[in-house]
A and B are shown apart, each in its own frame.
Chain A
Amino acid sequence: MFYREAGDFKTTYTEDSQTFPIKFDRYRYYAVLLFAFAVVPFIINDYWVNAVFLPFLIYAIAAIGLNILVGYCGQVSLGTGGFMAVGAYAVYKLMTTFPEVSIFLHVILAGGITAGVGVLFGLPSLRIKGFYLAVATLAAQFFLVWLFNRVPWFYNYSASGQISAPERTVFGVPVTGAETAPWAAYLFCLVFLTASAFIARNLTRGMAGRKWMAIRDMDIAAEIIGVNPLKAKLSAFAVSSFFVGISGALFFAIYLGAVEVGEAFGINKSFLVLFMVIIGGLGSIFGSFAGAAFLVLLPVLLKNTLVGGLGWPTDLAAHLEFIIVGAMIIIFLIAEPHGLAQLWRVAKEKLRLWPFPH
């Protein structure tokens, strides 16, 4: 009834091609932004930030990054964990080498460094495709983790090989280290997520995104109509790694505070982010959010329900959690192979016709 184009007249091309063409959608989007920026920071505590919001925000950035590569450009990557590690170690080295520069810049620079590394490991994608490329990126994953474990320069020669984030402030408010207020950490990550989503959405709607999608749909055809596969593929790797690097930097500096590369950025992380992208929906920015929310929130929710609510033994709950999350993934993929984003799309189509579907 409210959710339709009728009556919402567009008089310019800009208006016509905006992200949210339907008025209701647009207002909902503003409302969500307002809620996230102006309401949530006042009501969250340590637990909500550290167990729910930070992982969600950070994984959403990583999922957006991977979605550009896998979902939009069709290049399968299993190197996400390794690229996140690059972001984390880059921000650590920058933080400790240039303590006077704002952490905000450091995170962006860490993204830039990761983009460079991503392009380097993206080079094989010009020759190899599909599963073979997945194997090549898997090599990147293992190589990067090995490198950060092996070369003491990366962890400033600390005895344990751990890196830990010293306190850094933004406008005098600490955002890393133990004294960080929950709202500060939350807002810091939220700013990055909002910016990432905005940039990613607009990139994918423009020329760059269309080139990526052309390559994804059929690379030879794309080449014939004038898409340069070298530029398209490498730019996809660069942009994707940039976001993944930012998420890795935030994951280390804001969320965990201390990190051990093998444990935090192992192959499991690569799979986790890939699952987020697949479950959320390939080639959709909203899907990245939905996938991250699904895989971050569901385990926490299950744990709280089973252990906190029903008082079950922790090991039983932990094992059951694997089973339930696994089963949900399978059910979702069978019921809706295009992910949560497609469910959302179908729901919107139905809403548009509601209440008179015929």
Chain B
Amino acid sequence: MKLKLATAALAAVIAAGPALADLTFSALSYRTGPYAANGIPFADGYIDYFTLLNERDGGINGEKVNIVECETGYNTEKGVECYESTKGSGALVYQPLSTGITYQLIPKVTSDNIPLHSMGYGRTSAKNGAVFRNIFNYPANYWDGASHAVTHILDLNGGDISGKKIALVYHNSAYGKEPIRTLEELAKKHGYELTLLPVDHPGQEQKSQWLQIRREKPDYVLMWGWGVMNQVAVQEAANIRFPMENFIGIWWSGSENDVLPAGAGADGYKALTFHNLGNDYPVYADLQKYVVDAGKAAGAGDQLGTALYNRGMYAAMLAAEAAKTAQDIHGTTAITPAMMRDGMENLEMTEAKMAALGLPKFGPEFKVNCENHGGNGYGAVAQWDATTGKWSLITDYFQSDQEILQPLIEEDSAAYAAENGITPDCK
């Protein structure tokens, strides 16, 4: 038995050796566990986009893309194992799609000089690239999201929300706690009253929180949820007949999986987003032709066009564009993680670029630089229509309240720099 195990281990180690050449992208995905419903579409979109680049364009500027997928189950221990096992393969950038794993990896990637892109999650103050050299969180972060939600509520109320009651239902973890600070600051500025309602992992049990909402009758409910927690919250809100148009989720609480179980009850539910939704884009024709019809779609191939699939695709597109930028800067197609970092720091997304990629008006325009690793904080509000089963944007992209956010980011990143002995510099 021992001999067999040893042989198997040896075989596994040999087989898991690094694949040379190519541009390697890691996909730390989760297709199992309580967050799988959200993890699968993102992972599919991420991988499918790279498959499309390989099949249609022969890779990125002639360099084939090699994807190394690793299952984390949204679990930090497995995330660390995945990081260690894939970094040897020369992965250019990490996108763990988990705030917990992001926190874990921030010191590790910095010491290994590999970039980490936490798109719309992770540590918000990583926006300050002078402190967080290898961490990027463009195009928007949680604090932007909190501000977007409040701005939207302001717009609905003609700019005055003093005395209104806003409740935050959040996943009781690093992820869910992120917006609290911002919402408190905004409460000071706009004079609303904030109630905090934590929901413990995995979030199936929310009866008491919604009972409290029913009792206190807040005017608006914001939600920072993920995985099964979203579905339960939308269902509970429908059960207590909370007016759905006053219920606003962060972008991670705005996928089809979250609203479909509640059926017609979810009609009118709103969620923030930092990219466009639906499948009405030229790139989808190519995806159909080169990936789906060719039988090369990742997973079951049934997620195309969903909100999270689009987000995964958007993440892959930004990574591919950063890789192209890096290739331009360094004049070589075979880039290393360190070069990829430079590419990400000089990334510029313009409307012309997105249109050329078959994704016109898909996301906001932004430009990354050393002081700003987080984009300009543009986002929009989407609303769910249960009869047609579609999300649609009900606002244009608007900017978050930088006046409030910027000092918070400075403060938090300075604290991190002091704790870890980092001298902020932009050279």
Contacts and interface: CB of A to CB of B under 8 A. Distances in A.
A257 B36 CA distance: 25
A255 B80 CA distance: 9
A308 B15 contact: yes
A258 B102 CA distance: 10
Given A178-B110, A260-B174, A305-B8, A166 B71 contact: no
B84 interface: yes
B9 A178 contact: no
A223 to B, nearest CB: 41
B173 A161 contact: yes
Interface string B75-117: 1110011001101100000000001100110111011000000
* Contact-residue bracket for chain B: 35 or more
Contacts of B361: none
Given A159-B177, A301-B5, A301-B12, A266 B80 contact: no
Interface in A216-266: 255-260, 262-264, 266
A139 B16 CA distance: 43
Specify the main secondary structure of chain B where it touches its partner: helix
B172 interface: yes
B173 A260 contact: yes
* Contact-residue bracket for chain A: 35 or more
B31 interface: yes
A318 B178 contact: no
A151 interface: no
A315 interface: yes
Contacts of A314: 29, 31, 69-71
Taking each of B12, B178, B299, which has the highest tally of chain A beta carbons within 10 Å of its own beta carbon? B12
A304 interface: yes
Contacts of B36: 315
A285 to B, nearest CB: 21
A161 B177 contact: yes
Taking each of B13, B32, B174, which has the highest tally of chain A beta carbons within 10 Å of its own beta carbon? B174
A303 to B, nearest CB: 8
A113 to B, nearest CB: 23
Nearest to A315: B31
A180 B69 CA distance: 26
14 contacts: A51-B81, A159-B178, A164-B103, A178-B108, A256-B80, A256-B104, A260-B100, A263-B76, A304-B13, A304-B85, A305-B9, A308-B12, A309-B12, A317-B71
Given A161-B173, A260-B174, A308-B12, 14 more contacts: A47-B85, A50-B84, A160-B123, A160-B177, A164-B107, A256-B76, A256-B80, A260-B100, A301-B9, A304-B9, A304-B13, A304-B85, A305-B12, A318-B73
